[in-house]
Amino acid sequence: MSTSPARVQCIIALGSNIERERYLPEAVRLLRRHPDIDVRNVSRVYESPATGGRNGAPDFHNAAALVRTALGPRQLRAELKAIEAQLGRVRTDDRDAPRTIDLDIAYYDRLVAKFDGWSIPGRNAATAAHIAIPVAEAAPSWQHPTLGLTMSELAEQLGASDGEVRAVTWIQLSSPYTLRGLDDTDDFDEVYAPRLESLVRQQLVELGEDPTRKGLERTPLRVAKALDFLTSGYSSSVAEVVNGAIFDAEGAEEMVTVKDIEFYSTCEHHMLPFFGQASVAYLPKGKIIGLSKVARIIDVFARRLQVQERLTNQIADAIEETLEPHGVAVVIKGRHLCMMMRGVQKQDSSMVTSAMRGTFKDNARTRNEFLDIIGS
Ligand code: ZN
């Protein structure tokens, strides 16, 4: 790795008006976990009436985060959209439609620029009190690139004419860890999970490394974020990822097969990756599920410390409980780095596990049909 690109500071505006108490903290958590985004400060949550003149539309909750990143503005925006998608946001043409989560770049360093359909500073950043007030809390001394005002001055002006933006104190966005503000500039060290990071630092020492050398300085932070992601299955659930996307399919009795879904997991014996393809089939009994949901169910269990056999069974159990089909089959082919990189070094070895339930277990013809389809 050569020297990393310069990191700049940005302010991200967050908004939600569906299950706000859930999506705002979750969005902040995903920002924190992002390998290329350091969260430096987060505002409180502010409540304001929904725009667009919709009577009865739920009020908006807004917040702002001061972050540091080496991503360019387009890349950063793409990452924010990916987080929105992960949180279930479906973008429509209706700008005032209710949304689970909105993540926009309000300010990007000193940049003033127009892009295709968006701009920096962000839409309404300097005109809407519900954006300016949380922004001012996250970065009070930030200078607006053209107006010659600080964020606190701007928020004060806008807030005076709009008394409807109120802080909501019962939603906690900031982590228990200390977040430092804008004024301590270059020596800033993001702290994500202090105990885990100090353990990684100790581990580096035990391995004979110098955790203060340049290339390792941010390694404990990166490892903590990576481990958090790789074990994020513990904090998700099948019900949450399926999210009601089960469809009635009266009379559909044909086998549904999803073949070769890529997965990555971590072996619980060595905490090293194993990865490969999972194929899943079921014989519906009136209920089917979106294909993409099968992949997400796999991730709920793959993103934990695992053994391949249990992963296989847990996926089969989840499909069985969700759809109550006539039968379920799961076959996983996995390659384990703990076998490939060390000891016997069987580079080509892959392990195959399967779970057969219901008709797939009882009826050889059904089972063979599935195995034919997946080419086993
Ligand atoms: Zn292992």
Q: How far is CA 5 from CA 10, 65, 113, 165, 204, in A?
A: 15, 21, 21, 38, 25
The overall longest dimension of the chain from CA atoms, in Å, is 76
Please write the tens of the pLDDT for every residue from 220-248. 988 988 998 899 898 888 988 888 888 88
Q: pLDDT tens digit string along 259-291?
A: 999 999 999 999 999 999 999 999 999 999 988
Instruction: State residue 2's pLDDT score.
Output: 43
Give yes or no for a contact between 233 and 303, defined as CB atoms under 8 angstroms apart.
yes
Q: Is 10 a catalytic residue?
A: no
DSSP per-residue string spanning 21-63: HHHHHHHHHHHHH-TTEEEEEE--EEEE--STT-TTPPPEEEE
Among residues 364, 367, 342, the alpha carbon closest in space to that of 355 is found at 367
- Cα 285 to middle of ligand 1, angstroms: 38
Arithmetic mean of pLDDT, 350-357: 95
Model confidence at 344, in pLDDT bands (50, 70, 90)? low
Instruction: Out of 75, 86, 240, 269, pick the active-site residue.
Output: 269
**Which tops the pLDDT comparison, 41 or 186?**
41
Whether the predicted pLDDT of 318 surpasses 60: yes
Active-site hit among 21, 156, 270, 277: 270
To the nearest whole percent, how much of the chain has pLDDT over 90?
A: 56
Is 80 exceeded by the pLDDT of residue 61?
yes
Ligand 1 mean position, distance from CA 372 (Å): 30
Distance from the alpha carbon of residue 272 to the mean position of ligand 1, in angstroms: 6
pLDDT band per the 50, 70, 90 thresholds, residue 51:
low
- Compute, in angstroms, the gap from residue 306 CA to the centroid of ligand 1: 9
Instruction: Based on the residue annotation, tell me whether 240 is a catalytic residue of this protein.
Output: no
Token digits of residue 80: 């924010």
Quote the mean pLDDT of the chain: 86
Antiparallel, parallel or unpaired: β 256-267 and 305-306: parallel
197: enclosing H helix or E strand: helix 194-206
Share of the chain above pLDDT 70, in %: 85
pLDDT, residue 364, reads 95
- Our answer to whether residue 338 is catalytic in this structure is yes
**What does the alpha-carbon distance between residue 100 and residue 83 come to, in Å, rounded to a whole number?**
11
Instruction: Specify the pLDDT at position 178.
Output: 38
- Write the pLDDT tens digit of every residue in 173-182: 654 333 443 3
Residue among 97, 95, 154, 114 nearest 130 (CA): 154
Q: What is the rounded CA–CA span in Å between residue 27 and residue 83?
A: 7
Which pLDDT does position 235 carry in this prediction? 83
Q: What is the pLDDT of residue 1?
A: 42
Task: Point out the catalytic residue in the list 172, 203, 338, 369.
Answer: 338
209 catalytic residue (yes or no): no
Concatenating the DSSP letter of every residue in 155-182 gives HHHHHHH-TT-EEE-SS--S-SS----S
Query: Structure pTM?
Result: 0.65
pLDDT at 301: 96
Q: Which distant-in-sequence residues (6+ apart) come within 8 Å of 224 by Cβ? A: 192, 193, 196, 197, 200
Kindly give the distance from the C-alpha atom of residue 260 to the centroid of ligand 1, in angstroms, as a whole number: 22
Q: Please report the pLDDT score of residue 182 as a whole number.
A: 37
Predicted local confidence at residue 186, as pLDDT: 42
**pLDDT tens digits for 119-138?**
999 988 999 999 999 999 99
- Res 112 pLDDT > 70: yes
Greater confidence (195 vs 162) lies with 195
pLDDT at 187 over 50: no
Q: Residue 33's pLDDT is what? A: 87
Task: Summarize pLDDT for 196-217 with one digit per residue, the tens.
Answer: 888 999 999 999 999 999 999 8
Confidence of residue 96 (pLDDT cuts 50, 70, 90): low
DSSP single-letter state for residue 150: B
Higher pLDDT pick, 156 / 180:
156
Highest mean pLDDT among 39-43, 57-61, 177-181: 39-43
Mean pLDDT of 54-70: 82
pLDDT band for 347, please (50, 70, 90 cuts).
low
pLDDT for the residue numbered 314:
97
Distance 270 CA to ligand 1 centre (A): 4
The pocket of ion ligand 1, defined by CB under 5 A, consists of 267, 269-270, 338
Q: Is the pLDDT of residue 3 over 70?
A: no
Among this protein's residues, is 34 annotated catalytic?
no
- pLDDT band for 343, please (50, 70, 90 cuts): low
Expressed in angstroms and rounded, the spacing between residue 50 Cα and the centre of ligand 1 is 51
State the pLDDT at residue 324: 94
Does the annotation count 268 as an active-site position?
yes
Catalytic residue among 267, 306, 314, 326: 267
In sign, the C-alpha dihedral spanning 100, 29, 235, 304 is positive
